[in-house]
Amino acid sequence: MDAVEIAGAWTPEEGSRRARELFEDRHPGAPDGVWAAPGRVNLIGEHTDYNGGLCLPIALPHRTYVALRRREDDEVHLASAFEGEVLGWDGALSDLHPGGVAGWAAYAAGIAWALAEAGTPVTGFDAALSSCVPTAAGLSSSAAVECAVGLALDEVNDLGMGGSDEGRADLVRIAVRTENEVVGARTGDLDQSAALRTSAGNALLLDCLDGSARQVPFDLDAAGLELLVIDTRATHSHATGAYGQRRATCEAAAKILGIRTLREITDLDAALAVLKDEGLKDEVEGQKSQDAQEMVRRVRHVVTEIQRVRDFVALVDAGRLLEVGPLMNASHDSLRDDYQVSCPELDVAVDAARAAGAIGARMTGGGFGGCAIALIEADRRDAVARAAVEAFAEHGFGIPRIYVAVPSAAGGRVG
Which positions are catalytic? 191
DSSP string across 45-62: -TT-GGGT-EE-EEEEEE
**Which three-class secondary structure state does DSSP give residue 38?**
strand
Write the DSSP symbol of residue 262: G
Write the DSSP symbol of residue 19: H
In what helix (H) or strand (E) does residue 145 lie, and over which residues does it extend?
Answer: helix 141-156
Cα end-to-end span (Å), the chain: 41
Distances 31 to 17, 49, 159, 238, 240 between C-alpha atoms, Å: 12, 36, 18, 32, 35
Best CA proximity match to 65, nearest among 37, 32, 33, 107? 37
Percent helix / strand / coil, the chain, rounded to 5? 45, 20, 35
* β-strand partners of 244: none
d(CA 303, CA 140): 24
Write the DSSP symbol of residue 267: -
User: Where does residue 225 fall: left (phi above 0), alpha (psi -120 to 50 degrees), or beta otherwise?
Assistant: beta
Please report, as a single letter, which amino acid is at residue 403. Y
d(CA 16, CA 149): 14
User: What does the angle CA 155 – CA 185 – CA 68 come to, to the nearest 5 degrees?
Assistant: 25
